[in-house]
A and B are shown apart, each in its own frame.
Chain A
């Protein structure tokens, strides 16, 4: 089998709920995605979603390395791509390109074997633990309870992850509402919280300790900056909950300080970290250090395919039980709180061509791009609760107003 070409297609979609985090509390109302298709002389097409901003890097990797090569040799080709990006480092946009190409090649490898990816990777059980992740900063208290309630009652999720970080009193109330929602599935839900690097270590310790007086927190995600291995370690030493971190790191080497200093208690892994190839390396390395891993949110819950072969897999982030962008389709179902990979060959994540034709765009508008908000002013320094304008925008819901605060704004 030989790679003969590729195409990328951008598309946009309205979100099914307003999504945001501590850096973007007013939330977004449109999203975008990029579909990569990798063609072969066998008629099989490898599919991956992501890398929307990386089209030139994808082209360079395909033309410079992958063209004419056998995608079944994906681990070796991964090394070639990574080595090609040596000087500048395989992070940022180059890393996005490597990741998405690696996923498409794994898709081809398992399609060629006529088996689902979890089986290609050596998994013996396609049913993996999952939790609901609302990306829910813009949601009202009632909407939080309703969303987690639906996830618990209809899909059986027994854990949820709440975006927190800007207003301690509001966060305490919101955690209670998420808990109430999840109690539709279990008396003892797993309560995860996520501050997306908004705090400094001491802020994190103060706030989480206070939360822990009321709640048993199952982990605290990104309570300090991604590279601050000393700060993360200090937080872990000072709170009861595990520190979960790593989602903004790009590759295995970035995790060395975490491993060496035991900075994180749960390691975040995703196919976006230099592809499935590197995600497997990362999980193995964490396993050697007796660290559990969690797989992050992914298109169509694709990361579920990786979990069955990972001996230290803990739980999978599901930002929605079914794809809701109108284009994507997935063979991974959520049943009784488990993500269950199906028998469809490849990653099981594909698309509806008619919908894609309708939603296709030439370029992505800024408001639906990957980072319309950036880092919020005050991060790591002072509290910066949502402004009146942000709260008002958030309250308008999915069909409402998109609002980005003027740069440098703060309410204190």
Chain B
């Protein structure tokens, strides 16, 4: 029998010596900072092609009695009504605490603002858990490699042809071989713009992955007609949100009516809402993200999809922080990179794109370091207008297509 003793020089031994105090650990408080961020470009889709370059943002911090603070991009005032559930508790019990929060909001359900609050708390607790372990979150989640394949996403209906080309060229220069473009309002414009994306990405490979996204603007039959025409010109990898988020019959109809895969799910809040999409085979790729009730909830969705042999694709987020989870999922294909410049509150974040992959570094937790001076500066900026987020739904959605009006976007 081989019985090892711990060598005093080992990393484990040093860790134990410094970590004894963490035998008990308690959540003591939280801090929520809200601010408005000026983006590098206007973000807009079929519902709001003009878009907006102001984004309302927030950062949640959860404090502990051991001096370790967890953070999450996101959070809102609903946190106040949930905090009593986690106060005084050990943050390492994040999955159990997730369940307690979800059970607490039972009657009104885990949706909307409450869902966003639970999501942010969950992320901040995972950040703490990884920081206690002195490791990046991807390792806490058991991933072998801190990386996930990336695709580029403009969310830029307002971008001119040149700007669109410049965006995808910049992404292609980092080795990214897939792109997702916002379309849906004018076939001629859309075909031209998909072609521009295709040309830019062909720097990387001859047949880049081409994705199109209409953000629920069409009815199922509109989607089938529209996408079928696009497919005469382009090989489309997936069509995202071609019908309403809950319309599992319609999404399934679209999937049967086109060659491309149907992706959806980003506007749903948890695994329960994903249930019909998955069990009715309404989608071929699941969009998962922090909006599915945090890292804990997103992992549940991904695992449920795994049982159904469905790939998942991780949604975009500030500093790509959800890449930590993407790296740990066995059925993740590629993660959305938007990069609109919404990291002004961060001193640094530890991931970068290399050869088409988001590569995570070894900074502990989510790897995001906050800068309080920057946050204060963002909070003190005087603005003469309010952010356009969240977008309203565009007139005609699901009924007829309201073309882009002259002057509505920069290029028309």
Contacts and interface: CB of A to CB of B under 8 A. Distances in A.
A39 B4 contact: yes
Contacts of A121: 95
Given A77-B144, A124-B89, A259-B279, 17 more contacts: A41-B10, A42-B12, A44-B6, A45-B4, A72-B142, A73-B144, A76-B142, A112-B12, A119-B92, A121-B95, A122-B96, A124-B99, A125-B96, A289-B275, A308-B96, A343-B23, A353-B1
A37 interface: yes
B11 A256 contact: no
Interface string A257-296: 0011000000000000000010011101101111000000
B304 A122 contact: no
Contacts of A30: none
A289 B11 contact: no
Given A112-B15, A281-B307, A288-B271, A73 B143 contact: yes
7 contacts: A42-B7, A122-B98, A124-B97, A252-B306, A308-B95, A353-B3, A357-B1
B10 A43 contact: yes
A356 interface: yes
B278 interface: yes
Interface in B273-293: 274-275, 278-279
A124 B328 contact: no
A114 B16 contact: yes
B224 to A, nearest CB: 25
Interface string B171-188: 000000000000000000
B7 A43 contact: yes
A113 interface: yes
Interface of A: 1, 7, 9, 37, 39, 41-45, 69-70, 72-80, 82, 109, 112-115, 119-125, 252-253, 255-256, 259-260, 277, 280-282, 284-285, 287-290, 308-309, 311, 343, 353, 356-357
Given A285-B307, A288-B272, A44 B95 contact: no
> Could you say which interface size class chain B belongs to?
35 or more
Given A72-B142, A73-B142, A277-B142, A44 B12 contact: yes
A49 B369 CA distance: 42
Interface in B300-331: 300-301, 303-304, 306-309, 327-328, 330
Contacts of A37: 2
Nearest to B135: A72
Contacts of B278: 288
B112 interface: no
Contact of A290 (B95, B129, B132, B272): B272
B384 interface: no
B10 A282 contact: no
A79 B144 contact: yes
- 8 tightest A-B contacts by CB? A76-B144, A124-B96, A75-B142, A124-B93, A122-B95, A288-B304, A284-B303, A285-B307
A188 B370 CA distance: 55
Centre residue among A44, A285, A289 by max chain B CB count within 10 A:
A285
Contacts of A282: 303, 307
A357 B1 CA distance: 8
Contacts of A277: 142
Contacts of B109: none
A123 B95 CA distance: 6
Given A42-B12, A124-B90, A309 B95 contact: yes
Contact of A288 (B23, B135, B300): B300
Contacts of B98: 122, 311
A252 B302 CA distance: 13
Contacts of B6: 42-44
B175 to A, nearest CB: 22
A309 B295 CA distance: 13
Nearest to B89: A124
Contact of A287 (B132, B133, B300, B327): B300
A42 B100 contact: no
A269 to B, nearest CB: 12
Contact of A72 (B23, B129, B139, B309): B139
B166 interface: no
Contacts of A256: 307-309
Contacts of B296: 122
Contacts of A120: 92
B81 interface: no
B19 interface: yes
Contacts of A122: 92-96, 98, 129, 296
A252 B330 CA distance: 12
Centre residue among B139, B145, B301 by max chain A CB count within 10 A:
B139
B2 A123 contact: no
A43 B4 CA distance: 5
Contacts of A252: 303, 306-307
A69 B330 CA distance: 18
Contacts of B3: 45, 353
A260 B276 CA distance: 11
A41 B13 CA distance: 12
A122 to B, nearest CB: 3
B275 A290 contact: yes
B279 A284 contact: no
B39 interface: no
B143 A76 contact: yes
B53 to A, nearest CB: 37
Interface string B1-42: 111111100111101100100110000000000000000000
Given A76-B143, A114-B16, A255 B135 contact: no
A284 B299 contact: yes
A78 to B, nearest CB: 8
